[in-house]
């Protein structure tokens, strides 16, 4: 029977029983080809830390053999725990499912696509043990196309502005957190994207750690359309008064283009003697429609959030769980 989960407000009660002090959370989706390699490399890295550990894999409704591989690995290794969603709910709800089950004092998050090298994990753990609330991974020599890196730079700039956190790579999922830093924002993770930005916006201290970055195994799931929606999510989630600022932008942009179009059209009218009515009208209509489309998209993001909160829909539903 499926288990429904919404938004736990605190990490699990640890009690006095023996428990791991280091947790690794890995959301996966259709990673059958790489998940065993991720597991082996992660175990090697965790063992070098010399602390009791656990691995938590969250299968975000994979349609390939990912879950069968996790079942096989769990049979061999009791330190591996796994959660399977009934369908694909997205990376951030999967991250919440893993974080809400993590029992360690230090919790590391990592994607399961081998873009980051698990061998860098001890560096992140050491940074948190050194006193930082968050060890933020910073990808060196990114092996992505400009179509991925350019939007990422734009979103990173927006998040730096809105969270006042001076780090260069909000998009890197390979990070380490102290348990105390995660607890206050756990109820928002999943509803709101960018776990690292949420933790930092709550006042957590951070250090950046340089990490090796490799090309993804398979194609990226972040299309230009999805990156655009992600940018809108950043605006709606971290910008306190986006409608007011959008109004300012609308006025300034339309005023500038209206002036430029008016001067250009007037020059054509004077030089050629023909009134360019369509130029006047077309420039005005296209400019207004473009900005109105952006505002409507932003309003749509807000309405979607309101709808989810009013309906009280679960963040995800769980089909089965190992460990």
- Tell me the DSSP string of 127-141: HHHTT-SEEEEEEES
In a domain, 267, yes or no: yes
Secondary structure letter of residue 168 according to DSSP: S
- The per-residue pLDDT for 45 is 95
- Same domain assignment for residues 198 and 83: yes
The total number of structural domains that make up the chain: 2
- Same domain assignment for residues 306 and 318: no
Helix axes 224-238, 146-163, angle to 10 degrees: 0
| Cβ pair 155, 231 in contact under 8 A | yes
In a domain, 197, yes or no: yes
Strands (E), the chain: 3-5, 22-28, 53-59, 80-85, 106-109, 134-140, 175-178, 206-212, 316-322
Q: How far is CA 250 from the centre of its chain?
A: 29
- The per-residue pLDDT for 115 is 83
Q: How far is CA 288 from the centre of its chain?
A: 32
Helix, strand or coil for residue 260? helix
**Could you give the CA distance from residue 236 to residue 193 in angstroms, rounded to a whole number?**
11
- Same domain assignment for residues 193 and 301: no
Structure tokens at 103: 């029992």
- Same domain assignment for residues 20 and 96: yes
**Could you give the CA distance from residue 267 to residue 276 in angstroms, rounded to a whole number?**
10
CATH number for the domain spanning 135: value is 3.90.550.10
- Same domain assignment for residues 192 and 271: no
Measured over the CA atoms of residue 136, residue 137, residue 142 and residue 145, the dihedral's sign is negative
In a domain, 230, yes or no: no
- Same domain assignment for residues 286 and 209: no
| Cβ pair 76, 173 in contact under 8 A | no
- The per-residue pLDDT for 297 is 65
In a domain, 261, yes or no: yes
- Same domain assignment for residues 129 and 217: yes
Judge residue 166's burial from the number of C-beta atoms within 10 Å of its C-beta, 0-12 exposed, 13-18 middle, 19 or more buried: exposed
Question: What would the DSSP string read from start to end of 190-223?
Answer: TTBS-HHHHHHHTT--EEEEEEEB---SS--S--
- CB neighbour list of residue 220: distance below 8 Å, 6 or more residues apart: 144, 148
- Same domain assignment for residues 302 and 171: no
Place of tokens 């043990």: 129
- Same domain assignment for residues 259 and 289: yes
In a domain, 278, yes or no: yes
- Same domain assignment for residues 214 and 255: no
Tens-binned pLDDT, residue by residue, of the chain (323 aa): 445 454 444 555 555 446 899 999 999 999 999 999 999 999 999 999 999 999 999 999 999 999 999 999 999 999 999 999 999 998 888 999 999 999 999 999 999 888 888 999 999 999 999 999 999 988 876 655 565 566 667 777 777 777 777 787 877 889 999 999 999 888 877 777 778 888 888 888 999 998 886 655 555 555 555 656 666 666 666 565 555 566 566 666 776 777 777 778 778 777 887 777 777 777 777 777 767 767 766 776 676 667 567 656 678 899 999 98
- The per-residue pLDDT for 249 is 66
- The per-residue pLDDT for 106 is 97
In a domain, 233, yes or no: no
User: Which structural domain, as residue segments, surrounds residue 120?
Assistant: 3-221+314-322
- The per-residue pLDDT for 257 is 75
- Same domain assignment for residues 128 and 35: yes
């Amino acid at each position: 029977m499926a288990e429904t989960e919404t938004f736990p407000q605190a990490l699990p009660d640890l009690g006095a029983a023996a428990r791991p002090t280091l947790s690794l959370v890995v959301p996966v989706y259709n990673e059958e080809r790489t998940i065993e390699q991720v597991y082996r490399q992660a175990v090697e890295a965790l063992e070098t830390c010399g602390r009791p550990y656990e691995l938590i894999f969250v299968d975000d409704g994979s349609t390939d053999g990912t879950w069968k591989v996790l079942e096989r690995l769990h049979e061999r290794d009791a330190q591996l725990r796994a959660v399977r969603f009934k369908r694909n709910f997205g990376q951030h709800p999967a991250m919440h499912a893993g974080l809400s089950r993590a029992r360690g004092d230090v919790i590391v998050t990592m994607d399961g696509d081998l873009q980051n090298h698990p061998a860098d994990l001890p560096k992140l753990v050491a940074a948190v043990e050194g006193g930082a609330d968050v060890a933020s991974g910073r990808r060196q020599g990114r092996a992505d196309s400009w179509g991925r890196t350019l939007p990422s730079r734009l979103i990173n700039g927006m998040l730096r502005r809105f969270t006042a956190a001076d780090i260069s790579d909000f998009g890197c999922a390979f990070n380490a957190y102290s348990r105390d830093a995660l607890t206050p924002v756990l109820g928002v993770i999943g509803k709101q994207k960018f776990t690292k930005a949420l933790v930092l916006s709550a006042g957590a201290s951070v250090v950046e750690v340089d990490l090796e970055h490799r090309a993804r195994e398979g194609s990226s799931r972040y299309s230009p359309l999805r990156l655009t929606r992600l940018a809108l999510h950043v605006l709606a989630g971290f910008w306190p008064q986006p409608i007011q600022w959008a109004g300012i932008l609308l006025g300034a942009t339309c005023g500038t283009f209206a002036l430029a179009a008016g001067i250009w059209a007037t020059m054509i009218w004077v030089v050629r003697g023909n009134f360019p009515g369509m130029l006047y009208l077309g420039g005005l209509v296209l400019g207004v429609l473009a900005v109105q489309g952006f505002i409507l998209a932003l309003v749509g993001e807000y309405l979607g959030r309101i709808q989810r909160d009013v309906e009280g829909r679960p963040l995800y539903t769980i089909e089965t769980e190992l460990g």
